[in-house]
Structure formats: C-alpha cells, structure tokens
Structure 1
Amino acid sequence: MTTSPEPTELILVTGASTGMGAATARELASRGFHVLAGVRRESDGEAIATTNLHPVILDVTRAEQIADLAASIEADGRPLRAIVNNAGIAVNAPVEVLPIAEWRRQFDVNFFGHITVTQSMLPALLKSRGRVVMISSLGGRLAQPTYGAYSGSKFALEGVSDALRRELAPHGVTVAIVEPGAVRTEMVGRGGVTLQKLAAEMTPEQERRYGGLMHAILAQSEGFLRDGVDASEAAKTIATAATATRPKTRYTVGKDAALLTRFARLLPDRTLDRVLASALRPLFPKSR
C-alpha cells in the first residue's frame, strides 16, 4: 500500500472552527498543504481534524497563544506558505445604540487580532517569501446602516492590507484581500442573535428611530443565510488567493460583492445611499 508524502509547506487559517474558515482549511488540506486550523475550543478541533488538517488552539485576541504558535511554526522547520486571517465577528446596530464595549470587541477580533497574527508570522513568511491573505468583506468597501462597527473594522483592515502589500512587495511577500458578500455561515446567524438582543435593549426613543431599520436588517441577514453563497464555494476563492502564483490584490466572493464593490467605486455617495435604501425598504415592517 502506498502512502501520500508528508506535506512540505504549512498554511495557517485563523477562525477555522466553522463556516468559511473550516471550509478553507479543508480545501487547502485537499490541495496538499499541511493546514494549521486555528480554533478556540478542543471540541471544535476534533470536529474538523483530518488528513493534513491539524487544529491548533488560537484565540486571535490572546497574544500569548499567537506567540506560542509562531514558535511552534519556527520549530517545525517546514516553510510557511501563507496565513489566512479569517477570524471575525459581526455586531450590527446603529452607531447610537451599540455600546462602546461592543465596538472594542469588534475591532479586537476583526482588526487588531489580524495585525497581531501577521506581525508574529512575518519572520517565517519573509523567510519563505510567502503570502498574507486578509479576509475582508463587501462591508470593507461599502457601509450599510447598522454596519458601522463591522464595516469600520473591515475598512481599517483594507487600508492596512494596502500598506502591507506595498511594504512587503520588495521582500517577496505578497498580500491578497478577499471580499465576500453574502455567504451562508454561522457568523451571520450569531450576528442576527446579537442584533435581536441589542434591539430589545433600545430606549423607547431609539426604538422609534431605529426599530424599523433593525427589523429590515435582521430580515436581510436571514436572506443571507437562505440565499448566500455556500462556504465551500467561498473557500475555493480563498484557497486560490493563498496559493496562486501571481495573485490578484483583491478577490470578491458572490455576485452581490462583485456588483456592489463596483457601485461603491463608481456611484456618487447620494446615489449609492438611495440604492441601499431601496434594497432595504421592502424589508421594513408594514405600517398598520
């Protein structure tokens, strides 16, 4: 009986417990890489472990866990082909309503966590002339109402990614950004639960201002879960961004992301405002 050779290159995927992260880890493992799949709980790791896919405990807000993983990768000796900064959360509510602690939590995971991972892995990536893949979002190019914190974190990630790409190009490390639109993932469902909780905590004045909007956004999120791209399809694009010989600087996932990122580049702000408002208007509760 023949056995497959041991993979000679490593790829790190953060936020790999479920959704796009888990699907991306599986896709990269199937392409012959040894994937280090960052999970927060051992039970999550047991659920995804397979040939070439090795779960590692990694909370991107815990600097000591990131440092331990970087040391483990250095000790392994195999080149680090890429890191896929995928970990993320979505906390949606109007700017007035969202508590500042939730703003900080959003940025700690979606932005500062990625920067910490990238800084820690750069010595290995510089040695291997590897790649950084940042998982942004349609929300990193276009901010819908109630997406202030989420889009803020993704806009920041896009800006840093552009700077990083230009800094590292002379040293052989490439940077690619992936901008998914509606994808059927657990994160969307968890975001909807959080939105409902925050909506229930609004003051009567806030309810009058934003109640209909929150209802519409929740209905839109449910549509994402029903009609969005499957996570396995998103994973193929992310895997390509991580492994292509000459990667694009940006990839979109889904027709909505391709269309709306183009709108964001071309349409005047007020026109884009009207486009987004018209998409939400049918989802508002009907007046009695």
Structure 2
Amino acid sequence: MFGYGAFQVTFAACLCLVPFLFLWPLLVALCVWLLWTIGWKYWEHTHLGECEGRGVFITGCDSGLGFAIAEHLDALGFTVFAGCYRPQDVGASTLQKECSSRLHEVPIDVRDKESVANAFAYVKDHLPKHGLWGVVNNAGVNLATSEVELTGVRMYNRAQDVNMYGPIRVVKAFLPLIRASAGRIINVTSVHGRMSIPRWSTYDVTKHGLETLSDSLRLEMAKFGVRVSIVEPGQYGFVTSIQNEEMTNLQLAQIDEMWKNASPEIRAAYPKEEEVKGNTPVMVHGWVANVNKCLPVARAVAHALRSEHPRARYLVGGYGTIVSFVDGFAVMSKVHNLLSTWFMDWWIARWTLNEK
C-alpha cells in the first residue's frame, strides 16, 4: 500500500520526534518551576494592611544601615522609634530633619540594661494606635581584626556585649509588646553569620551567635504568631560609617592595645606592621550613610515587616571590590555549606590571605 519512499518519510519523521521523548520531562519540569516561582512570588509579596499606626523600634539609627532603615520605614508610613546611641551627633539630627514628625528619637545604649529599660518605657508611653509591630536589632560594632592568638578575651567581650548581648537585652525587654501585636522581630546579622574568615573571629562569633539565637526565637515565638527574620547584609563597608575616620582610628588603637598586652613570643609570631595592614583603611567620611546604596537592606527589612509570609533569612548582597556589582562575601556565603570544607578553606585563604 505504501512505497519505499513513504516508509523513508515516516521513518525520518519518527527520528525527528525522538528528541521530544527526552525533552518533555525537561519541559514539564520547567513549567512546574515557572508555576512554583510565580506562586511563591505572589505568596511572598502578599502584604499586610496599611503601615500607618504601626510602631517599629530600631537600634543603631544614628549611622550606617540603621539610618537608612529608619528613613525608609518612615517613608512607608510606619511610626519609627529610632534608637540612637549618640542622639546629639550629626547622624541623629540629620535623621530628625529628613523624616516625618512620626519619627521619635530614642536614646539607647544596648550594653546598658537600664538604658534599654528607659527606651522601652518611652516606646510604651508613645505607642501608635496599632501598638508596636516590629523590633529591628541593627546596632553593632566592628572591632579591630586580628588572629585569635593575639586577640585578648577583653576584645571578644566588647564585641559580644554589643552584637550579641545587646539584641538579647532588647528582645527580652520588648517581647511583651511584640507578643501583644503578634508582630515581627528582625535581627540584622551579616554574611559573616553564615561563614567565617581569618582574622575576623571577634566579629564572626557574634554574628553566628545572633543567627542561632534568631533560629531558637523563631521556633519559640511561632505559637504566639510572632515572626522572626534574619537580614544578612554583604559588603556595605563602602557605603556606611563602619569604616570612617573615627572607627579606623579606634581600630588602630585597639591593635596597639592588643600588641602591648601580648607576650614577647606572640609579638614575634605576629609582626605589628602586618596587623596594622590587615585592618581596613578609611573608606568613607562622616557618619551619615549613603542611603540610596543601603536601600537593598532597608527594603529587605521592610519586606520582613510588611509581608504576610516573611522569609526566615534575607541574604542581601552588597558591593564588590573588583567588580562593584559582585559581592564576593555574599557569593561565598551562598555556596559555603554546599561545597567541601577543604575547598572553601582553600578559596577563602587565597582570597583573604593571598595564599597560593
């Protein structure tokens, strides 16, 4: 009925269809992925009602990321209680000038239990109509970087007192108000909370500690309807005040202190010139952050406050040293737990210590 030519055409057509037998699972997987992504984005970006009448208390607002977060949340309509360590300085006064009348400056030293209690009393007495909706633990300190053997225990205690125990003091004080509103707690850590690099142990241990604290708190608060999120900024030292003249001079003084307290044997092992060179030079001037470049972090905090389904973690890439839009810290932190330890050690050593 069919000639040889028809057979050839049929056979060729079948051969052409063979790849589709293998491609269709890929197409199905692609469609499922697209539907999942679209559904996830919709689910994640379902926002709560208006921001007006909801209070948010933020620490560390007189400089850096806290300044940008406070300004952004104020623009969204929140009643911002801006916790400032030095309310008389230019950062706090600039924030007051640039924000609405809803913003309250609240003096606070997170190292001092009485100061935290006074801040809580002020916020409680000035709550907006919907109460306190969120607490953002942003205050932090970055001390001189050095090897573990050279760094004194006193230096670790200083870092812990601000970066770790500070958020604990604030959370314990403000939790009754957050439980009452079934609100949000947001702890600003760092990519250093996911991975560690040489010479940064005083900073890294505090950020790892705050991450684990947040994980415990998230599980404990779930029964009260309170959501706990972690925001992990990458490299933002170029656009905040963390490496201005005052902070750099403070870190050099800390190097001198560690050097004087070290034994002759340890001094011989760690030349002072190398320690000074290992600390980042002045990168910015003044205390007021570059707000526009800090917006990714501020937007992550806003999402954690406004979304009906906030993420547990927000990794927010910053700015790179070689290519501005590639943050090496953020890239490494994303793959840190996926790759072998020996490979990550090799990579981090080559990048941070220039080892071959």
Q: Which bin holds the TM-score, normalised by the shorter protein?
A: 0.7 to 0.9
Q: Which amino acid aligns with 1:48?
A: L
Give the deviation of 1:222 after TM superposition: 6.0
Q: Which residue of 1 aligns with 2:103?
A: 53
1:14 aligns with 2:25: no
With over 3 angstroms needed to count, the CA separation of the structure-2 counterparts of 1:193 and 1:260, relative to structure 1, is farther
Q: Which amino acid aligns with 1:135?
A: V
**Pairing 1:20-99 to 2, within 5 Å after superposition:** 20-44=65-89, 45-49=92-96, 50-51=99-100, 52-78=102-128, 79-91=131-143, 92-99=145-152
Q: Which runs of 5+ in 1 are unaligned?
A: none
More strand as a share of residues: 1
Q: Which amino acid aligns with 1:145?
A: P
1:253 aligns with 2:308: no
Q: Which amino acid aligns with 1:57?
A: P
Q: Which residue of 2 aligns with 1:277?
A: 349
Give the deviation of 1:224 after TM superposition: 9.7
1:186 aligns with 2:241: yes
Structure 1: distance between partners of 2:179 and 2:353: 49
Give the deviation of 1:48 after TM superposition: 1.2
Structure 2: distance between partners of 1:6 and 1:281: 46
TM-score (norm 1): 0.86
1:233 aligns with 2:296: yes
- % of aligned pairs identical? 30
Q: Which amino acid aligns with 2:253?
A: K
Q: Which residue of 1 aligns with 2:164?
A: 111
Structure 1: distance between partners of 2:146 and 2:351: 18
Give the deviation of 1:87 after TM superposition: 0.4
Structure 2: distance between partners of 1:125 and 1:118: 9
Q: State the SS of the aligned residue for 1:265.
A: coil
With over 3 angstroms needed to count, the CA separation of the structure-2 counterparts of 1:40 and 1:224, relative to structure 1, is closer
Question: Does the 8 A contact of 2:241 with 2:284 survive in 1?
Answer: no
Q: Which amino acid aligns with 2:249?
A: V
Q: Which residue of 2 aligns with 1:263?
A: 335
Q: Which amino acid aligns with 1:89?
A: V
Structure 2: distance between partners of 1:170 and 1:257: 35
Name the larger-Rg structure. Answer: 2
Structure 1: distance between partners of 2:160 and 2:229: 20
Q: State the SS of the aligned residue for 1:55.
A: strand
**Pairing 1:129-208 to 2, within 5 Å after superposition:** 129-183=182-236, 184-189=239-244, 192-200=248-256, 202=259, 205-206=265-266
Q: Which residue of 1 aligns with 2:275?
A: 214
Deviates more, 1:83-92 or 1:34-43: 34-43
Question: Does the 8 A contact of 2:243 with 2:283 survive in 1?
Answer: no
Give the deviation of 1:95 after TM superposition: 1.2
Structure 2: distance between partners of 1:137 and 1:6: 27
Give the deviation of 1:54 after TM superposition: 1.6
Aligned residues, how many? 276
Structure 2: distance between partners of 1:223 and 1:263: 28
Deviates more, 1:77-86 or 1:39-48: 39-48
With over 3 angstroms needed to count, the CA separation of the structure-2 counterparts of 1:115 and 1:54, relative to structure 1, is same
Question: Does the 8 A contact of 2:62 with 2:87 survive in 1?
Answer: no
Q: Which amino acid aligns with 1:86?
A: N
Question: Does the 8 A contact of 1:215 with 1:283 survive in 2?
Answer: no
Structure 2: distance between partners of 1:111 and 1:105: 10
Structure 2: distance between partners of 1:256 and 1:238: 22
Q: Which residue of 1 aligns with 2:30?
A: none
Structure 1: distance between partners of 2:355 and 2:72: 36
Give the deviation of 1:6 after TM superposition: 10
Question: Does the 8 A contact of 2:81 with 2:123 survive in 1?
Answer: no
